Amino acid sequence: MDTIQSISSAIQDKMTRYTNADFGDDDSVNSVQLTEGISTSATHIRYHPGARLWQVRSTLERILLFLGTFLFMVIIVLSIVINVVEHHLQMSKLEQARFVAEQPCLNESCVIISSHMLEAMDLSVDPCDDFYAYSCNGWVKANPIPDGKSNWGTFMKLEQQNWLVIKTVLEQPIDTFKSKAEQKAKMYYESCLDTNDTVETLGAEPMFDLLRKLGGWNITDAPFNISKWTLQNTLEIVQNKYGVGALFSYGVGEDDRNSSRHVLQIDQSGLALPTRDNYLNKTADHIKVLNAYLEYMTKVGVLLGGDLNATKKQMEDVIQFETKLANITTPSDLRRDEESLYHLMTVAELQEKANFIDWRQFFENAMKVVQKKISSKQQIVVYAPDYLGNLTNLINDYQNTTEGRIILNNYLVWQTVKVFTLCLSKPFRDAYKGLRTALMGSDGADEPQWRYCIQDTNNVLGFALGAIFVREVFHSDSKEQAEVMINNVRDAFKRNFQNLNWMDEDTRKVAIDKADAISDMIGYPEFIKNVNHLDERFDNLTVRSDRYFENNVNINYYNLKKNLEKINEPVNKTTWSMVPSTVNAYYTPTKNQMVFPAGILQNPFYDPRFPDSLNYGAMGVVMGHELTHGFDDQGRQYDKNGNLNHWWNNKTVERFKERTKCVVQQYNNYKINGKNVNGNQTLGENIADNGGLKAAYHAYMDMMKNKQEPRKLPGLPLNHRQLFFVAFAQVWCSAFTKEATNLEIEKDTHSPAKFRVIGALSNLREFSDEFQCKVGTRMNPEKKCEVW
């Protein structure tokens, strides 16, 4: 109680002090009260001094309090103003950045690129109706087929630019060349140009000399004695000395089932005209070709001394024989199953299958040039056993009569003559113009001789010219940049495997292994930059600047010998079969290798100054195309080591084939000049076009993740995803004569350029999304075909 009373007394004392206080500068009382925190009615009064507090303040205190309050309000207002200004500045910067991003790129490179693309396009065409026309109509209009040519396109245009580079160097003095190989290339080029008129002076004499070595020709005055003639001897001369494929073709290549070794290979061959349809389809166009062929043969025979009527009759017999060969030749579209084509047998077994010649003797004769022996147990891969069996019956029919044997000899000699006719004087070269026009729609008369000679030199001494080309125009950093692009496309291609519900998990894993194992060769083979290695390659080739015909005979023999040297030797999987200046690329299944020569790593396919959208749309798709060839209907039959091998799950194979049927039917429905594309013949290339486009697009999109959208090109109302597709399409801008188109449909494994664009894009949903093509439009059909 005392305690309570004492506390109560203390509170009362404090209350008395509170009410009597002067509220001066001493705030200790208030502080004490607040820290004690006693909850009574008296303490609530403590918080409401009200007007009394202001009244007890001095004038100075009032002024200071007012100023403090005013300054506090000013600070708050300034803070608000600053925040508002900063916000507006930040929004202004964002708007400015957005404005800049929306403005087109106006530097010199962007303006030039945009100009070229716009010139090629036709913006009046609906891209959802015909993307090829949308992308290429302008190019076709501005690039008519040059005189003397049957077709013209971006590939050929770039190729001729490459030839100009080489031409400039080849016109330099011979002592300025860095290697003997390059000097030989210059001499061959000069022999083709015939600057000394040696070809014209010699006339038909080189061919007469060849005919004598062949044993004569019944059509001409060259002595021919049928009683001394044998098919065996003539075939050995034609095939093993002059390298001409007649009746059949043979050579040494990688064994499909054991790609680490070389093996003899033999296949059907022997038709002078490009396709069997030229002989068998009796349409007006094909009859026109056959008539032109007969006229060409007759003109050559007469130029070599034959009587017009007699020559024509004998040439008609040769055409009849070739027509019978065409009948037993299997069409190319039925020869796409690699496993069914492969037949490994011994020479002795081949002899039983086709005994129209002594095969062991034939191959022993061939191997004399490389000093190698052939036994009856020597293995050989036969790709056309049925053809060789039927050929035996056909030849036996002709062998039974003297007239038939003369026809066989006329056929074999003609096969050789036609190979070398273009190496003779102008009347012989002119004789071919009519046939060329019937086949291609152009006689080539207006083609400058230097262009033909550069192309010819490139065909026979391409690696020597490649050394010149690489030295002049190819930049080493292009190799590194191309390697990065290839790997990006490969990664995108592999990632897509997860989306393929038709592929089982085990097959998916080994498919990834194969994709990883594909080697890529970029630019050029290293040996061309080593003078000694380059010279060694052509050491045994003799070339003279004044002997064009003789040079070609030597080259055929040289190539045959180089090929035969590989028999039973291990395979070097780093060798190239395409020369560096070529505007093309390829994939080899037995090497599991893709090659991208320096010739194609240039504008418009690739340029370091281009936006990535254009490089991936053009060169990236080419890379994806070659990569996909390892998984098309033929390439997928080879494993990662390049061996023909059943390495897929059977169910997956069946589902794969079902998907390819869709592709075949899709391209079968495309028509040009009244002729349908052969969807089966073009299947591999169509699969590669579709898979390559898809892989390249996703590689581009993956690379652009977390990157700002590049500025648009001036004058082009397209974003860079859309520009990717335009770049792809413009690679294929081209024009063909009617005849060249018809020949392409019959012979080529590629679809016509227009359908390479339309076919692949119409199957890609990402394209339709980007251009907002409604379902049911031509470029966005409801039914799409997808393999990879």
Q: How far is CA 358 from CA 19, 121, 137, 378, in A?
A: 140, 61, 58, 14
11 versus 692: which is more confidently predicted? 692
Can you tell me the mean pLDDT for 622-638? Answer: 97
Can you tell me the mean pLDDT for 33-52? Answer: 34
CA distance 526 to 764: 38
Kindly state the percentage of the chain with pLDDT values over 90.
Answer: 78
Can you tell me the mean pLDDT for 755-763? Answer: 97
CA distance 106 to 512: 43
pLDDT at 34 over 70: no
CA distance 302 to 431: 11
* pLDDT score, position 374: 92
Query: What one-character DSSP code corresponds to residue 776?
Result: T
* pLDDT score, position 305: 93
CA distance 183 to 713: 46
Q: Is residue 604 reached through a cis peptide bond, with omega within 30 degrees of 0 on the bond before it?
A: yes
* pLDDT score, position 11: 34
Residue 296 identity (one-letter amino acid): Y
- Known catalytic residue at 13: no
Domain spans of the chain, in order of start: 2-56, 204-423, 477-525+585-732+742-788
697 token code pair: 């697009």
State the CB neighbour count (10 A cutoff) for residue 682: 26
| Mean pLDDT estimate for the chain | 88
32 versus 711: which is more confidently predicted? 711
- The one catalytic residue among 612, 689, 746, 748: 689
Q: Which of 429, 417, 419, 415 is nearest to 200 (CA)?
A: 429
Task: Specify burial of residue 86 (Cβ count, 10 A radius: 0-12, 13-18, 19+).
Answer: exposed
CA distance 254 to 256: 6
pLDDT at 379 over 60: yes
Q: Which CATH superfamily is domain 204-423 in?
A: Neutral endopeptidase , domain2 (1.10.1380.10)
Token pair 């780093």: residue: 574
pLDDT at 561 over 70: yes
CA distance 305 to 314: 14
Query: What one-character DSSP code corresponds to residue 267?
Result: E
H helix intervals, 422-504: 426-431, 433-440, 449-473, 476-495
CA distance 674 to 375: 53
Can you tell me the mean pLDDT for 207-211? Answer: 95
Percentage helix, strand, coil, to 5, in the chain?
60, 5, 30
State the CB neighbour count (10 A cutoff) for residue 201: 11
pLDDT at 318 over 60: yes
Kindly state the percentage of the chain with pLDDT values over 70.
Answer: 90
Q: How confident is the model at residue 6 (pLDDT cuts 50, 70, 90)?
A: very low
pLDDT digits (tens, 9 = 90+) for 358-375: 999 999 999 999 999 999
* pLDDT score, position 433: 94
pLDDT digits (tens, 9 = 90+) for 439-482: 999 988 878 899 999 999 999 999 999 999 999 988 877 888 89
Strand 258-268 to 151-153 pairing:
unpaired
CA distance 606 to 483: 13
Give the 3-state secondary structure of residue 562.
helix
What is the full DSSP assignment across 350-408?
HHHH--SS-HHHHHHHHHGGGT----TT-EEEES-HHHHHHHHHHHHHHHTSHHHHHHH
pLDDT at 352 over 90: yes
Range name among 146-155, 577-586, 704-713 with the lowest pLDDT average: 704-713
* pLDDT score, position 15: 36
Give the 3-state secondary structure of residue 254.
strand
* pLDDT score, position 386: 96
Can you tell me the mean pLDDT for 604-611? Answer: 89
**Long-range CB contacts (within 8 A, 24+) of 295-300:** 295/434, 295/435, 296/431, 296/432, 296/434, 296/435, 297/414, 297/418, 299/431, 300/417, 300/418, 300/421, 300/428, 300/431
CA distance 772 to 39: 75
Q: Which of 663, 643, 683 is nearest to 336 (CA)?
A: 683
Sign of the Cα pseudo-torsion (369, 375, 376, 378, in order): negative
State the CB neighbour count (10 A cutoff) for residue 618: 25
Q: List, edge to edge, every strand of the sheet that includes 586-588.
A: 519-523, 593-597, 586-588
How crowded is the C-beta side of 759, counted as CA atoms within 13 Å? 31
pLDDT at 653 over 50: yes
What is the full DSSP assignment across 107-152?
SHHHHHHHHHHHHH--TTS-TTT-HHHHHHHHHHHHSPPPTT-SEE
Cβ atoms of 612 and 489 closer than 8 Å: no
CA distance 563 to 554: 14
Q: Which are the contacts of 463, defined by CB distance < 8 A and separation ≥ 6?
A: 181, 525, 527, 528, 534, 537, 576, 579, 580
* pLDDT score, position 427: 95
- Known catalytic residue at 126: no
Q: Kindly compute the dihedral angle of the four CA atoms of residues 323, 419, 425, 218, in this order, to the nearest 10 degrees.
A: -60
96 versus 762: which is more confidently predicted? 762
Nearest 5 degrees, angle CA 613-CA 473-CA 618? 20
pLDDT digits (tens, 9 = 90+) for 69-87: 777 777 887 778 777 667 6
Q: How confident is the model at residue 148 (pLDDT cuts 50, 70, 90)?
A: confident
How crowded is the C-beta side of 74, counted as CA atoms within 13 Å? 6
What is the full DSSP assignment across 587-639?
EETTTTEEEEEGGGSSTTT--TTS-HHHHIIIIIHHHHHHHHHTTSTTGGGB-
Cβ atoms of 599 and 650 closer than 8 Å: no
Cβ atoms of 670 and 689 closer than 8 Å: no
Can you tell me the mean pLDDT for 504-527? Answer: 95
Can you tell me the mean pLDDT for 58-71? Answer: 72
State the CB neighbour count (10 A cutoff) for residue 542: 14
CA distance 728 to 618: 5
* pLDDT score, position 580: 95
pLDDT at 333 over 70: yes
pLDDT at 585 over 60: yes
Token pair 């079969």: residue: 577
Q: Which are the contacts of 85, defined by CB distance < 8 A and separation ≥ 6?
A: none
Q: How far is CA 696 from CA 324, 453, 728, in A?
A: 46, 37, 10
Q: How far is CA 429 from CA 187, 320, 388, 455, 565, in A?
A: 21, 24, 34, 16, 34
527 token code pair: 């040996």
- The one catalytic residue among 255, 364, 626, 744: 626
Query: How many residues can be counted in the chain?
Result: 788
pLDDT digits (tens, 9 = 90+) for 248-278: 999 999 999 999 999 999 999 999 999 999 9
pLDDT at 565 over 80: yes
Query: What one-character DSSP code corresponds to residue 331?
Result: P
Q: How confident is the model at residue 714 (pLDDT cuts 50, 70, 90)?
A: confident
Q: How confident is the model at residue 36 (pLDDT cuts 50, 70, 90)?
A: very low
* pLDDT score, position 273: 96
115 versus 131: which is more confidently predicted? 131
Token pair 């086949």: residue: 439
* pLDDT score, position 525: 94
* The CATH fold of domain 477-525+585-732+742-788: Collagenase (Catalytic Domain) (3.40.390)
CA distance 191 to 554: 13
pLDDT at 67 over 80: no
**Long-range CB contacts (within 8 A, 24+) of 304-307:** 304/204, 304/207, 304/208, 304/211, 304/217, 304/219, 304/220, 304/222, 304/417, 305/204, 305/220, 305/221, 305/222, 306/219, 306/220
pLDDT at 16 over 60: no
Q: How far is CA 503 from CA 199, 497, 733, in A?
A: 61, 8, 35
